[in-house]
Amino acid sequence: MEFGLDTFGDVTRDAQGGLLPQDQVLRHVIDEAVLADQVGVDAINLGEHHRDDFAISAPEILLANIAARTSRIRLGTAVTVLSTDDPIRLYQRFSTLNAISGGRGEVILGRGSFVESYPLFGHDLSDYEMLFEEKLALFVAVNKGGAVSWQGQHRAPVAVPAVYPPAGPGGIHTWVGVGGSPESVVRAVRHDLPMMLAIIGGDPRRFLPFVRLYHDAAAKMGKAVQPLGVHSPGLIAATDAEAREAAFTGYKALHDRIGRERGWPPITRDAFLAEVEGGSQYVGSPETVARKIAATIRDLGLQRFSLKYSAGTTAHETLMHSVELYGTRVIPLVREMLG
């Protein structure tokens, strides 16, 4: 069982309540990842975005810096928006990261729930499905190592004896991020890739049909079942009350900002607390969060749980304390609960 931490580099506030500049947020992310390594977290995953409320647009640059300051933690993305990236360049960036980190690089590939990268990089949103399907197939082909012969509709054909530098035996450890589409589940199985479910609201058990589909599709295709993971938000503090107060303030700023773009109503404290108590917000004391994580792992049969620990505008110091408690208290408690 592996335990990760995920962040988008959410832009946080300083002690006076002002929003920090993105360059400072990026430096804070590195400090958070270094602490995660020190307290025993298995993986740090950085999500790619192209917005003013999330600072990380080039995860690999940060991961390379983190690699130089850590010794054991896996270095990944959550997610890489493959649809608007070049699969070969992505492979080269992560094979380079693997070389300098001793093979610790990994990617979670997805289409992204935000679409800013499509016009930014000259892609048509009407090609949303086909872009991901084609680019995933090319990335998988390159990641096998050796000669690559591929053609599709959205880029020139590729016919090369190899792509350099090589990632090493087994290639780059690769997951497919899935947000709730049965087609995405089957696609992960078809490519023999582990699946990372993004469960950001509601009872995690409502994703059981996707877990069953994952296993059923593997059986029908005659493939081995790959690892299954979950990415969900949360925050840890000394007490439930302290964690809830800190998380609500930051999460409300994030939720309501995105809600204004997507037509959601502002979130109320009662709605947030309902998510904490019966949904997919892992917020509370170490004991409370550990019990909830352990239940999700058992219910869904997970091999990795990743906590999206950055919570909107929640301050860096609060996030550092949450990271420390996750590594020193929550993870050992969950392991004990799971036996």
Q: How many CA atoms lie within 13 A of 204 on its CB side?
A: 26
DSSP state of 243: H
* β partners of residue 160: 148
Helices (H), the chain: 22-38, 59-69, 87-101, 117-120, 128-143, 182-190, 208-221, 240-262, 269-278, 286-300, 316-325, 331-338
Residue 50, domain extent = 2-338
The first and second tokens of residue 10, run together, are 């959410």
pLDDT tens sequence for the chain (339 residues): 999 999 999 999 998 999 999 999 999 999 999 999 999 999 999 999 999 999 999 999 999 999 999 999 999 999 999 999 999 999 999 999 999 999 999 999 999 889 999 999 999 999 999 999 999 999 999 999 999 999 999 999 999 999 999 998 899 999 999 998 999 999 999 999 999 999 999 999 999 999 999 999 999 999 999 999 999 999 999 999 999 999 999 999 999 999 999 999 999 999 999 999 999 999 999 999 999 999 999 999 999 999 999 989 999 999 999 999 999 999 999 999 999
Q: How many CA atoms lie within 13 A of 136 on its CB side?
A: 25
CATH number at residue 310: 3.20.20.30
pTM (global) more than 0.85: yes
The first and second tokens of residue 62, run together, are 């940060």
The first and second tokens of residue 159, run together, are 């016919």
One DSSP character per residue, 118-157 reads HHHTT--GGGHHHHHHHHHHHHHHHHT-S-EEE--SSS--
Contact 268, 260 (CB under 8 A): no
pLDDT of residue 113: 84
The length of the chain is 339
The domain tally of the chain equals 1
Angle at 227 between CA 224 and CA 231, to 5 degrees: 150
pLDDT of residue 180: 83
Angle at 238 between CA 3 and CA 196, to 5 degrees: 20
Does 165 sit behind a cis peptide bond, omega within 30 degrees of 0 on the bond before it? yes
DSSP state of 16: T
pLDDT of residue 196: 98
pLDDT of residue 114: 93
pLDDT of residue 112: 83
